[in-house]
């Protein structure tokens, strides 16, 4: 997620802004920039790359002044570049804007502004805001900002300065975090608390629809419609390190809890009038789809498990044969690939060497390449013909969580979009899926409530005393069992196996004896009866079973020793919810065993070697 810092006061702004941005580097970014009012006009300095690159540029483009805004960009619209870096401005450079979030209607606004003669220099949605400020200028910065904000749809945190009123710094928040730091003779804005802790611990936390007008000696809070707000500041007691995790003990726990937002952001702007619309991102036509003989999902680790869900979803919805492969195996099985193959690479980082190598081989053999990745401008994204970005924001913990559920959302969107094009499903069925997709963020959030988390934590602390643990499931539950097992192994170092529940009796059942822990997933109505029989098989041999189910499988509650219930949803989407208790289970098992949650031994966040 982008980093925003703003300052107004008696000190030189440049060093304060750079220091604040450095405290936000953990959020991940690919470019940075500053805009500072120097007493006459606004000076800009922007650079692709790291803050160090920006600092180097600043040595030759000094920015004096004590009113300014700064930004570290995590690209969503437009590749990482100097031009796309924030702050953005209007043609006369009378305004400077930094933005965190997504302006869903930026394309239509941009068209209208171009028709009025505005000239754009970047690919970003943010530049539209700067042009709107110039276009709507009415002599007052506050009322102009209020008018512009009324036209924006989407999620945004904004920092705005203007040469017209250089005694003000304006901030607006809608669905992207923004805090106001209250100092003595100086005030600040930031997208996260670490950026301001060095200067003040007194902050206002803005709510959605809030606006703040900062001068050196005063902070005025109001709603975007101008209604004044009276609010007390809060005193931050965290230290900087803890503040980077938003108060969570670990990045992994923070990212597990970010999943409702990540799911919402990945859906944002891709469902219009009750239908999935990827036409802005994909150039695959109905004719192209009809031409595909096969689809290959290729990925590693957790992304591979998302690909397994993809196989199920695409074959069910689109009726095109789908193969799913571990990337490191793909090239060596001499896969049948040609121009009638759609190759789908799934990769959070977009830099995994195995996945990139498989992608290049498929491309060499003529396949159409589609990437599902969390990083705009990543190697996988650049090599692909088509890209679907998961808008999960930077994922810092080595164990992937919010990226995985966002990958599932991307796969569901792709399947429904293709099914719409090929008309392989009834309008009613498609509408049912789309409506339920939109319910998933809230349903995911319900699994993160304290009473739910405490329940999972208690099971994890108990079951993590074992040296080996089994996950079983059928169909989609089997793919989720694989992901749950990987989560547990990679951070708690407990040996674990995930098995297709129907496969146990063909060998692995021999390992089941008194007190062996088994986590059984049963969220698929059509498979519930058979899964319960498999659970009875392991119970009969003494296993201790923790069931994970929704209303699909009431029988499981009579068979399992303990039960975790997930909200009712369509079978197709159950993986998005069922995985959350498994992520939490792995997290608390790791804590119980005292290992490093965010940086497990032997592993890296992005495996850039084959
Ligand atoms: C997931 O928890 C692991 N850290 C790992 O399996 C990861 O999913 C895999 O390395 C693929 O990474 P990518 O999604 O960045 O390509």
What domains can be seen in the chain, in order of their start residue? Answer: 3-237 (3.60.20.10), 244-446 (3.40.50.10490), 450-593 (3.40.50.10490)
The tens digit of pLDDT for each residue in 132-172 reads 999 999 999 999 999 999 999 988 899 999 999 999 999 99
Catalytic residue among 55, 57, 525, 605: 605
C-alpha 218/C-alpha 182 separation (Å) is 8
Are 91 and 119 a contacting pair, CB within 8 Å? yes
Hey, which of 347, 348, 358 would you mutate to test ligand 1's pocket, going by the most ligand atoms within 8 Å of its Cβ? 348
Going from the C-alpha of 399 to that of each of 36, 97, 473, 475, 587, the distances in angstroms are: 39, 35, 22, 24, 9
Does residue 605 have an active-site annotation? Answer: yes
Q: Which residue has the tokens 């040595």?
A: 59
Q: What is the pTM of this model?
A: 0.76
CA of 153 to the centre of ligand 1 (A): 33
Of the candidates 163, 140, 121, 172, the one whose C-alpha atom is nearest the C-alpha of residue 4 is 172
For the chain, list residues with pLDDT below 70. Answer: 1, 27, 238-243, 551-552, 608-609
CA of 379 to the centre of ligand 1 (A): 15
CA of 375 to the centre of ligand 1 (A): 13
CB atoms within 10 A of CB 470: 25
Are 183 and 215 a contacting pair, CB within 8 Å? no
C-alpha 461/C-alpha 458 separation (Å) is 5
Q: Is 540 exposed, middle or buried (0-12, 13-18, 19+ CB in 10 A)?
A: exposed
Catalytic residue among 2, 45, 300, 590: 2
**Ligand 1 atom at minimal distance to the Cα of residue 302:** 8
CA of 483 to the centre of ligand 1 (A): 11
Output the furthest CA–CA distance in the chain (Å, rounded).
81
What is the structure's pLDDT at 208? 84
380: left (phi over 0), alpha (psi -120 to 50) or beta: alpha
Q: Determine phi and psi for 363, rounding to 5 degrees.
A: -65, -40
As for ligand 1, residues whose beta carbon falls within 6 Å of it are 300-303, 347-349, 352, 355, 398-400, 490, 606-607
CA of 251 to the centre of ligand 1 (A): 16
Are 201 and 235 a contacting pair, CB within 8 Å? yes
**Ligand 1 atom at minimal distance to the Cα of residue 355:** 16
Does residue 184 have an active-site annotation? Answer: no
**Ligand 1 atom at minimal distance to the Cα of residue 399:** 2
Q: Which two tokens stand for residue 198?
A: 């060095």
Number of alpha carbons in the 13 Å side-chain half-sphere of residue 31: 23
Q: Which two tokens stand for residue 599?
A: 């940086």
* CA nearest ligand 1 atom 7, residue: 301
What is the structure's pLDDT at 238? 65
Name, in order, each residue with C-beta under 8 angstroms of 52's C-beta and a sequence gap of 6 or more.
Answer: none
């Amino acid at each position: 997620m982008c980093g925003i810092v703003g300052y107004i006061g008696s000190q030189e702004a440049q060093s304060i802004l750079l220091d604040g941005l450095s405290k936000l580097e953990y959020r991940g970014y690919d470019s940075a920039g500053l805009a500072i009012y120097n007493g006459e006009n606004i000076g800009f300095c922007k650079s692709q790359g790291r803050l160090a690159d920006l600092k180097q540029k600043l040595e030759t483009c000094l920015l004096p002044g004590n009113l300014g805004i700064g930004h570290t960009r995590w690209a969503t619209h437009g590749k990482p570049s100097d031009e796309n870096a924030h702050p953005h401005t209007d043609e006369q450079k009378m305004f400077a804007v930094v933005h965190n979030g997504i302006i869903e209607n930026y394309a239509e606004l941009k068209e209208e502004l171009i028709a009025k003669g505005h000239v754009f220099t970047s690919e970003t949605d943010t530049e539209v805001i700067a042009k709107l400020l110039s276009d709507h200028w009415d002599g007052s910065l506050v009322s102009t900002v209020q008018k512009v904000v009324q036209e924006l749809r989407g999620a945004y945190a904004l920092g705005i300065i203007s040469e017209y009123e250089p005694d003000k710094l304006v901030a607006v928040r809608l669905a992207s975090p923004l805090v106001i730091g209250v100092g003595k003779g100086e005030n600040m804005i930031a997208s996260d608390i670490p950026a301001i802790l060095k200067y003040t611990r007194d902050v206002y936390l803005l709510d959605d629809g809030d606006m703040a007008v900062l001068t050196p000696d005063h902070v005025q809070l109001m709603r975007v419609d101008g209604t004044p707000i009276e609010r007390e500041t809060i005193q931050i007691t965290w230290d900087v390190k803890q503040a980077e995790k938003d108060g969570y003990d670990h990045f992994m726990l923070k990212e597990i809890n970010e999943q409702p937002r990540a799911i919402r952001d990945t859906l944002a702007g891709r469902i219009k009038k009750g239908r999935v619309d990827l036409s802005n991102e994909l150039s695959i036509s109905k004719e192209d789809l009809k031409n595909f003989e096969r689809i290959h999902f290729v990925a590693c680790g957790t992304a591979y498990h998302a690909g397994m869900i993809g196989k199920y979803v695409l074959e069910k919805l689109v009726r095109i044969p789908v193969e799913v492969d571990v990337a490191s195996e793909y090239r060596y099985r001499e896969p049948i690939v040609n121009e009638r193959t759609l190759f789908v690479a799934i990769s959070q980082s977009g830099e995994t060497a195995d996945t990139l190598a498989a992608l290049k081989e498929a491309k060499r053999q003529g396949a159409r390449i589609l990437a599902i990745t969390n990083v705009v401008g990543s190697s996988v994204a650049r090599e692909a013909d088509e890209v679907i970005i998961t808008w999960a924001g930077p994922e810092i913990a080595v164990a992937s969580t919010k990226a995985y559920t966002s990958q599932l959302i991307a796969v569901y969107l792709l399947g429904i979009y293709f099914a719409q094009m090929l008309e392989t499903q009834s309008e009613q069925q498609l509408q049912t899926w789309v409506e339920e997709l939109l319910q998933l963020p809230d349903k995911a959030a319900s699994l993160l409530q304290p009473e739910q988390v405490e329940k999972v934590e208690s099971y994890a602390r108990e079951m993590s005393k074992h040296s080996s643990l089994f996950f079983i499931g059928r169909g989609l539950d089997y793919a989720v069992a694989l992901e749950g097992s990987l989560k547990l192994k990679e951070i708690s170092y407990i040996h674990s196996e995930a098995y297709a529940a129907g496969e146990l009796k063909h060998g692995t059942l021999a390992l089941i004896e008194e007190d062996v822990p088994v986590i059984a997933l049963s969220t698929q109505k059509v498979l519930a009866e058979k899964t319960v029989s498999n659970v009875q098989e392991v119970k009969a041999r003494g296993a201790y079973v923790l069931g994970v189910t929704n209303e699909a499988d009431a029988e499981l509650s009579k068979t399992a020793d303990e039960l975790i219930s997930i909200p009712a949803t369509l079978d197709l989407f159950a993986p998005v919810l069922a995985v959350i208790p498994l992520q939490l289970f792995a997290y608390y098992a790791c804590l119980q065993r005292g290992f490093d949650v965010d940086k497990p031994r032997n592993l890296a966040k992005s495996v850039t070697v084959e």
